[in-house]
Structure 1
């Protein structure tokens, strides 16, 4: 933000918040030690966690809103019909990263167009001696939940998470339980890497790049790992992306804390105005330089993405327009589905127990925030 400092004479003090980030920020806010701006996951549940109506500035009517790609303008950052978060980078999408060379060697020339074709492709690859999928269950198995959530894309479009939020549908009911069982069935069928129980996130990128596995269901942060391992030219040659859902190629979006910032109410009108001025510069005159420096996909229709952005990331961004929200984006609270699925991988919970445990956690968390019916 050197351009803003030069333009205004202001000094920007960037502070690093220690992990666990969310709890550390919330502790500061609770004690009245509010920052002016903070990176924050712009979902309803995480905005609720900050008590947005009391602690955050409304960003309604901001001058940079009309610059957004229309498909992204209202995708996230809104709670109770009020905008509290400003998107600065592309929200993550749960979808399939695949090795193009492995596909070509196996004679696969088209990417799957629905879940059944996706599974048939996996079985064809296995028959050809290729490990179809790479996932990890060792350590913190946070990516396990993507396998369940992409199976729920059609149901999410049909209001699944609204029903769950209202207590009208549960994780133990056929839709979500069926997705959990479906994931477990793929594991039992032997479609994953043999070291599934012990593999870690750090193993995943190298395995896909080397062609040790053909596909993985992941989000944008995984591509960051790939970018640390290979340059754009190699990535464009080897790695592709396609969204997947039961009936088609619909992505499931899951914005994370790196995608957006929130502006706090500090009680100091001058500071609050300066914060809005910085956002207006960041997403206005300063935005072209920002996306160039970050080598990231542009969110704005009139600002092109830099030439060095890998094609897979451009494809991720292109899938956002008709994507549907994940549990993190649409549920009022977010239970530890991924940890429970990790237990399933390790053999300490059955799919039914995963659903029951997750439902119990959901009800407890919903009750804690005073959600109606819990």
Structure 2
């Protein structure tokens, strides 16, 4: 699998307010059905399509583009948009600059950020929908009961990657079955001289938020983000504030790497693979880093995965921009149809070659997952069926929780200030998109 690193996992206030100033994501003339779904092999000689991609997804379409160009005679240009990817695209779209297709985080909040009903083609009744694993078909990509995004790879899951050998050497034979058992194992490892958890606060500490969100899995299942979206509950209320406090307490307890304040993402994979740390709470992109460091046999021997939540082994899913594509309304009916045709090919005749080229888990019941996919990645995919949505998946907007948690690690914000700053930004973003209650 090719390396996949997150470009930007949260919608920032600056980008969101800039977009809101150019067009109101809550306004618009509703959606319309696509005119047709052309046959995959329809001749497209003389047609040029553009796909926008991030620096971590710009090689993902390679096998699909090659096959589609040969089959149809079309030309497909993949254009890399500089990071921060999401913010850059929002700015371009707000000024009327649109591609034919783009990689995009297929969550309701990020579809709202693109003003989906005005700017994106509707993908309802697409010919490839029935091919999806039923558990994944409707997990994301939908806003206001309308499908705007095509899922091409399994959404990322927040959970625990662990070093099997470190566990075995410590006499740990079973993975923790819930949050309390996770902490019991961590303390057991610390008492034997091991570093239980590896995290990073240097640079952009995007993974800090996973520590809060996995603690919120049960609350998310119980409607937490619906209440936050309606202004009925806040980051400063006991549920989210408590999760922030717990994360801070675990840091204070010494359960993390000694260089937490200065460590980076690039340090995390080698630490877990070598056994310098026993566990990391992470998402799929982290496993992409591990795959750049070791082959599948070594990964299967050393690295395992389990989802975690307060009540049990429940994952928290968080689709990112490398998981899905959106097709834009460009005003050119021919190119819009060609974009739909490319999606039909990608998730049709081209899909088996795609998953083979990416060495990734198949979304489709009729396309087998390649033999070389590591077991941990298979376990991640298996956890999706009963997973719950993350803040990114369920909140109407996504404040920079991770940056505030990074400040907490550096000692420039208290846990209380983290919640206050995050809530203030959430309210500002929600007001900018016209959400009621703000």
What number of residue pairs does the alignment pair up?
374
Is 2:154 the counterpart of 1:90? yes
- What is residue 184 of structure 2 aligned with on the other side? 120
Please say if 1:186 is aligned against 2:269: no
* Alpha-carbon distance in structure 2 between the residues aligned to 1:183 and 1:31: 41
Equivalent residue, structure 1, for 2:375: 311
4+ long deviations beyond 6 Å: none
Out of 326, 339, 343, the position equivalent to 1:275 is 339
> Where does residue 265 of structure 1 map in the other structure?
329
1:228 aligned partner? 292
Q: TM-score, normalised by structure 2?
A: 0.84
Structure 1 window deviating more from structure 2 (21-30 vs 9-18): it is 21-30
TM-score (norm 1): 0.99
Unaligned runs of 5+ in 1: none
CA distance in 2, matches of 1:67, 1:144: 36
How far 1:28 sits from its partner (Å)? Answer: 2.5
Q: Shift of residue 26 of structure 1? A: 2.0
* 1:2 CA drift (Å): 1.7
1:256-285 deviation line (CA, Å, top 9, x unaligned): 000000000011111111111110010011
Distance 1:190 1:58 in 2: 50
Q: How far did residue 14 of structure 1 move? A: 1.4
Distance 2:118 2:170 in 1: 56
| The one of 417, 428, 431 aligned to 1:353 | 417
- 1:338 equivalent in alignment to 2:402: yes
> What is the aligned partner in structure 2 of residue 15 from structure 1?
79
Superposition deviation, residue 71 in structure 1:
0.7
Instruction: Determine if the alignment matches structure 1 residue 2 to structure 2 residue 71.
Output: no
Shift of 1:22: 1.6
**Which residue, out of 210, 214, 219, partners 2:278?**
214
Note the C-alpha offset of 1:103: 0.4
Q: CA deviation at 1:130?
A: 0.7
Query: Which of 172, 176, 184 pairs up with 1:108?
Result: 172
Over residues 195-253 of structure 1, what are the superposed CA-to-partner deviations in whole Å (9 max), with x where a residue is unaligned?
A: 11111111100000110010010000111111111111111110000000000000000
Query: 2: CA distance between counterparts of 1:363 and 1:29?
Result: 24
| Distance (Å, rounded) in 2 between the aligned partners of 1:201 and 1:11 | 36
Residues 117-147 of structure 1: CA distance to partner in whole angstroms, max 9, x if unpaired? Answer: 1110101111111110000111111100000
Matched, 1:72 2:136: yes
